[in-house]
Amino acid sequence: MKRKFTYFLVAMFVAFGLNAQNISSVKTTAKTPSPKADVEIHFDGENANGIGTNSEAVFEVAARFTADELAAYYGSNNISKVKFLVFMVSSQDSVTPWATAAKVKIYGNGTATEAGELLLEAPVTNLVDGWNEFVLPTPVPLVSGDYWVGYEVTAAAGFPAGCDAGPIVAGKGGWLYFGEEDGWSELSEAGLDANWNIRAVLTGATGIETEIVNSLEVFGGNGMITINNADAATAQIYNVTGQLINTVNLSNSTTVQVPAGIYIVRVGDAAQKVLVK
């Protein structure tokens, strides 16, 4: 189905075609984001606009973080918070609602143009106008590959999804999803040069996940990875680019032959980085 996008910036109007719903942006102002905590990764700059359909709609926006941003954190960090900016009302009309609800969503490794498995979906119960800092109910461990971090917004009208003034970070900063029919697309496909105001906060892995990894006694040797005392049936082994290279059945002591390099061993939600010589 062919649908139309429209783009508003102050008094400027541009129309163009794309396989998605009617979408627009309007210049807005926003609150200052809260101070950084731990490691904060993002592609956006200061807020400059809000994007939406100017009608009732439910859609998702996301930033795609790859090994370029995450390789140093695989096996040692979790995504613990997501910061994002939405507009609940127009700055010119404080009565008409824009965003009425939101859910934070995190997807795992997919392709360069499609998100992978849905790893987390959580409603934002205290949505505020401007910057929101959402603490994940369960931290998402960084194991390997890409992570798509964003939110689903329910809009009654207007332009609720905050973005910067660009330029867009191609393939990463401006992903949009209206459903399976249209799939994921970039704002640049609609002639919009912007990145979503979305930021992922990373913290060091702690608590139960660290305890599980420590009990596993995962270590690298000469051309092999050894996994001892595994409290799980299988383990997945990834290289640092996020490619799954092996899934192994576990016993009390399991040895896997691999070439020299750095690997991430994942057992359930726990992950451990190992060096093989």
Do 134 and 237 lie in a common domain?
no
Among 154, 176, 204, give the residue marking a domain's end: 204
Kindly report the number of other CB atoms within 10 A of residue 189's CB atom: 14
Give residue 15's pLDDT.
23
175 strand-pairing partners: 62, 186
Same domain, 230 and 197: no
pLDDT at position 215, please?
58
Please indicate, yes or no, if residue 242 is contained in any of the structural domains: yes
Same domain, residue pair 141 and 257: no
Q: Is residue 90 part of a domain?
A: yes
User: pLDDT value at position 197?
Assistant: 98
> 170: domain CATH number?
2.60.120
Residue 93, pLDDT score: 60
Question: What pLDDT is attached to residue 128?
Answer: 94
Exposed e or buried b per residue across 33-65, where buried means at least 16 C-beta atoms within 10 angstroms of its C-beta: beeeeeeebbbbeebbbbbbbbeebebbbbbbb
DSSP 32: P
Domain count, the chain: 2
Q: What distance in Å separates the CA atoms of residue 208 and residue 224, rounded to the nearest whole number?
A: 26
Q: What is the pLDDT of residues 137-193, one digit of tens each?
A: 989 999 899 999 999 999 999 999 999 999 999 999 999 999 888 899 999 999 999
Domain that holds residue 156: 39-204
What residues in the chain have per-residue pLDDT under 50?
1-37, 206-214
Cis peptide before 160 (omega within 30 of 0): no
In a domain, 259, yes or no: yes
- The answer to whether the beta carbons of residues 66 and 121 sit under 8 Å apart is no
